[in-house]
Structure 1
Amino acid sequence: MKNNHADLIKVIQKNFSRLSKGQKLIAQFITNNYDKAAFMTASKLGSRVGVSESTVVRFANALGYDGYPQLQKELQELIKTKLTTVQRLEMSTDYSNEGAVLKKVLKADMDNIKATIEEIDDEVFQEVVNNIFKAKRIYILGLRSSSTLAEYLGFYLNLILDNVKIVTAGVSDIYEQMLRVGKDDLVIGISFPRYSTNTLNALNYTKELGATVVGITDSQVSPIASISDYTLVARSNMVSFVDSLVAPLSLINALVVAVGMREKSEISSTFDRLEKIWEKHNVYNNKNTL
């Protein structure tokens, strides 16, 4: 099955006339309620529209999918870019019980990390580390909710390396901050649903200037994956109206540690100097209190 999730609704519309009566009911429900259908089992979807579970499975097959789980996965990819924050909030009925919220959210984050472990490409990860050391300059770009990840990655890489620049929004135009990007530089772009258009445009700009681009995102079909030389994928399946950035942060932690281990002796002396500075200026509270 090679259908692109971005064209899923068009695929349904194209095949609508040749579907059975029961399959047309499913098609109409998905087209009008794809945000709800994306999280329904085949059985639940069938019950909702008044058809059998096997009819739902045959519907997926009729559209060219190997089965309903594959169709459901495509639906979930679709809503990452289509759902507004209001729609996300409206579909959060499972989180209306405050007593259940804590465990549900933590469990969802655990699932994201587990999926990331299973899907991460070790060779690509090593190539990204290699390119970090080869780069003349390293630019880190992440906007909106991804700005937190960019700041975190930049903070720790700056303790290890001396050629790292975090591209920020608001202080000056992002293109001005990336004015000197060249073919010897590395640009790390971080983007998760709903994907920032400004991030995508800026990465395209640096690509045209010849820089190596690393994308940290949630899928190989993410908009920035298509322009990245190397793509590191971390799951961020949404939890209600909040983007889950736990797995991406864990991936960034691994990247920082991998870079740090190659510079172990150098960062040891760096942290030794920093500890003396922190102690002198009382940066941390080291006093024992009762």
Structure 2
Amino acid sequence: MNDTVVTGSTDRVLGLFEGVRLTPTQRRIAHCLVQHGSAVGYLSAAEVAELAGVSQPSVTRFATALGHDGYPALRRRLRELTAGTTGPADAGNELQQAVRTEIGNLDRLAGQLADRDRIAGAGRLLAASRPLPVLGLRAAAPLATYFAYFAAKVHPDVRVLDDGGSLLADRLDQAAAAGATVLLAFVLPRYPRETLDALREARAAGLTVVAITDSPVSPASEHADLVLPAGVGTDLVFDLHTAPMTLAMVLLQALCDAAPADTQRRLEAFEVSAARRQVFVS
């Protein structure tokens, strides 16, 4: 599949929702349209409803909310927006196509980062939160751990929340009581229910929720104050998280840039400690 074409068509579909205040049900429909790409332009309203897990009238109301006379008009528009998404015959085998899709996800992320103020603002929020809880359950747990490993070198109190259950709510409450103002959450498909419940709990506790997720219309968008999207590859048996991992490191850079003096001091102290303990061989 041609990653440049796919990236462009995805952006065009996302453009349908810009400036439109969507209900939670409508976000589910929007997410379905983005996830199923060019195929959705040939599905009936009933089929879209089934894929999104909503009622058929909800799909019709969604089309009207976007300014169309009904779902048939929206479907025609989707066909126009996704036309030409089939890649050339020499695009390579399925493994190459999966990698090229990831290149497209990274290219889309690079375009989003043209707005440096948004990512810089997120970095300032994270830097100011003491402690800084970082949430990631199931497939998102490794990303939360990876981010937290490096963030702990420049932030005095990073707390990884990678286990669900009743203790998760306790740990959120404890972080808020200790002075946390922000929760950084990694929310990736298939969107664990516990993760979305935790976002609600965090906001109820007064925390600002910053979510790294796969789409601006993912289920996390309903519960987050700031959504930072990065596409997830779905061409292999298990998802590829190249773009979310990259965005995590970009966000960490923004955290460092928000407090450069503290960052430098902490990194220098770590290097002195690591050398004394001979942590690394080179």
Partner of 1:126: 120
Q: 2:163 aligns with which of 165, 169, 188?
A: 169
- Aligned 8 A contact 2:28 2:219 in 1: no
Q: Which protein, 1 or 2, shows the higher relative CO under an 8 Å CA cutoff with sep ≥ 6?
A: 2
* SS of match in other structure, 1:221: coil
TM (norm. structure 1) is 0.65
Residues 74-93 of structure 1 correspond to what in structure 2 (within 5 A)?
none
1:146-166 CA distance string (max 9 Å, x none): 111111111111111113211
Distance, in Å, in 2 between the alignment partners of 1:32 and 1:209 is: 34
| Equivalent residue number for residue 134 of structure 2 | 140
Give the counterpart letter for 1:151 in structure 2: T
- Structure 2 matches for 1:19-38, cutoff 5 A? 27=44
- Name 2:74's counterpart in structure 1: 64
| 1:124–1:230 CA contact under 8 A, matched in 2 | no
1:106 aligned to 2:102? no
Determine the C-alpha separation between the residues in 1 that align with 2:82 and 2:28: 13
Q: CA RMSD in A?
A: 3.5
Match of 2:56 in 1: none
1:231 Cα deviation (Å)? 1.0
Which one-letter code corresponds to 2:193 in the other structure? T
| 1:229 is aligned to 2:220 | no
1:157–1:256 Cα contact (<8 Å) kept: yes
CA distance in 2, matches of 1:258, 1:7: 33
In 1, the alpha carbon distance for the partners of 2:46 and 2:224 equals: 36
Counterpart position of 2:203: 207
- Is contact 2:133-2:158 (8 Å) kept? yes
**Are the aligned partners of 2:138 and 2:162 in contact in 1 as well (CA < 8 Å)?**
no
Shift of 1:111: 0.6
Relative to 1, partners in 2 of residues 1:142 and 1:159: Cα closer, same or farther, differing over 3 Å? same
Determine helix, strand or coil for the equivalent of 1:188: strand
- Equivalent of 1:279 in 250, 275, 280: 275
Range with greater deviation from structure 2 (141-150 or 183-192): 183-192
Deviation at 1:29, TM superposition (A): 11
Equivalent-residue separation in structure 1 for 2:80 and 2:214 (angstroms) = 17
- Assess if the C-alpha contact under 8 Å between 1:61 and 1:67 holds in 2: no
Give unpaired runs (5+ residues) of structure 2: 1-15, 31-41, 52-69, 84-91
Q: CA deviation at 1:243?
A: 1.5
Give the conservation status (yes or no) of the 8 Å contact 2:98–2:233.
Answer: no
1:267 aligned partner, one-letter code: T
Rounded Cα–Cα distance in structure 2 between residues aligned with 1:192 and 1:70: 29
Deviation at 1:32, TM superposition (A): 12
Distance in 2 separating the partners of 1:184 and 1:148: 22
Q: Structure 2 vs 1, CA of residues 100 and 235 (structure 1 numbering), >3 Å: closer, same or farther?
A: same
Match of 2:110 in 1: 117
Q: C-alpha separation between the residues in 1 aligned to 2:226 and 2:43?
A: 39
Q: 1:262 to 1:131 in 2, by over 3 A?
A: closer
SS of the aligned residue for 1:161 comes to coil
Q: Does 1:155 align with 2:149?
A: yes
TM-score (normalised: structure 2): 0.66
Query: Cα gap change, 1:219/1:7 in structure 2, threshold over 3 Å: closer, same or farther?
Result: closer
Shift of 1:266: 3.0
Q: CA deviation at 1:145?
A: 1.1
Give the Cα–Cα distance (whole angstroms) in 2 for the partners of residues 114 and 130 of structure 1. 25
Distance 1:280 1:100, change over 3 A: farther
Range 197-206 or range 180-189, more displaced: 180-189
Give CA-to-partner distance per residue, 1:173-211, whole Å, 9 cap, x none: 211221222585111111011111111001101111111
Cα deviation code 1:47-97 (max 9, x no counterpart): xxxxxxxxxxxxx97252352447869xxxxxxxxxxxxxxxxxxxxxxxx
Residue by residue over 1:10-59, the C-alpha shift from the partner in whole angstroms, topping out at 9 and shown as x without a partner, is: xxxxxxxxxxxxxxx9649967997xxxxxxxxxxxxxxxxxxxxxxxxx
SS of 2:134 mapped into structure 1: strand
Q: CA deviation at 1:128?
A: 1.1
2:183 to 183, 187, 192: 187
Q: For residue 108 of structure 1, what is the amino acid of its counterpart? A: T
Change (3 A) 1:269 1:7: closer
